[in-house]
Amino acid sequence: MKAPVTDALFDRVAPLYDRAMKVVESTVLASQRPWAVSGLRGRVVEFGVGTGLNLPYYPPGTEVTGIDLSSGMLERARRRVSELGRISTTTLVQGNVEATGLESGAYDAVVSTYTLCNVDSPDAALREARRLLRPEGVLVLVEHTGSTFSPLDWLLALVDRLSGPRMGEHLRRDHPATATGAGFTLTSLERRRLGLVVRVRATPDQSAQSLEEEVSPLARDEFHSGGASEGQGDEAEGVTP
């Protein structure tokens, strides 16, 4: 993660973060958090836990370890943990999702919701996720990305030129391709809200000979083309591979 930019930024916005996300998710991204975590069991690592907005949706008894660089965000997450009565099943750690220091092969799931856009190296973060997972574990991603509606995607590309270098906020990253390149097999891939939201479930690729293999340019082009009619709203725009 870009600690000098992103960490300080999220410390400053932490008091307003929940209200801002409520507006964005109610108007643009829609509610994706229940889909991301409500079916998970066992031991879960959440990358970029932030203020803990996903915590209410985890099933009772799920053991969650939340990682975040921002002390301001984690302070609010601790309050939420206490309010939800999840103190005994939730651990919050200030750290880098690219190198968590957690035990290898010990977790049933790794979750990231709207986090990889701010990570310095998404590839490093997802390789770390693969290291943490048991062989039968699952990676769950809900991230924003480029749009399947060309005019909107053009606008996002323009904004991305400024938001990436200045704020560490990358709007159009190809998260499915990054997951594949990090050694995962996609089991579910959906694009929603004019393609702005990508939802991924993936498992560690046990047959991969090397985690250094690159995703083909064709695969990246197919992702950014969207594969769906422009102008669709909250319908799933991808299919299970």
First to last CA, the chain: 30
Q: Are 104 and 132 in contact (CB under 8 A)?
A: yes
pLDDT score at 207: 74
pLDDT score at 230: 35
Within a 10 A sphere around the Cβ of 203, how many other Cβ atoms? 16
Rounded CA gap, 123 and 179, in Å? Answer: 7
pLDDT score at 9: 81
Q: Are 197 and 24 in contact (CB under 8 A)?
A: no
pLDDT score at 216: 37
pLDDT score at 208: 58
| Reported pTM | 0.83
Task: Compute CA distances 126 → 18, 78, 83, 169, 208, whole Å.
Answer: 26, 25, 31, 17, 15
198 has which bridge partners?
143, 191
pLDDT score at 213: 42
Domain 3-225, CATH among 3.40.50.150, 3.40.50.300, 3.20.20.100, 2.30.30.140: 3.40.50.150
pLDDT score at 229: 35
75 has which bridge partners?
none
C-alpha 36, offset from chain centre: 9
In eight-state DSSP terms, residue 56 is G
Q: Write the single-letter amino acid at 139.
A: L
Q: Structural domain boundaries of the chain?
A: 3-225
Rounded CA gap, 176 and 146, in Å? Answer: 12
pLDDT score at 6: 64
Q: Which of 48, 32, 198 is nearest to 115 (CA)?
A: 48
What would the pLDDT profile of 188-237 be if each residue is shown by its tens digit?
Answer: 999 999 999 999 999 999 875 444 444 434 334 444 444 433 334 444 54
Q: Divide the 241 residues of the chain into consecutive groups of 10 and give the mean pLDDT of each group.
A: 61 92 94 96 98 97 97 97 97 97 98 96 98 98 96 94 86 97 97 96 79 40 42 44 42
pLDDT score at 167: 82
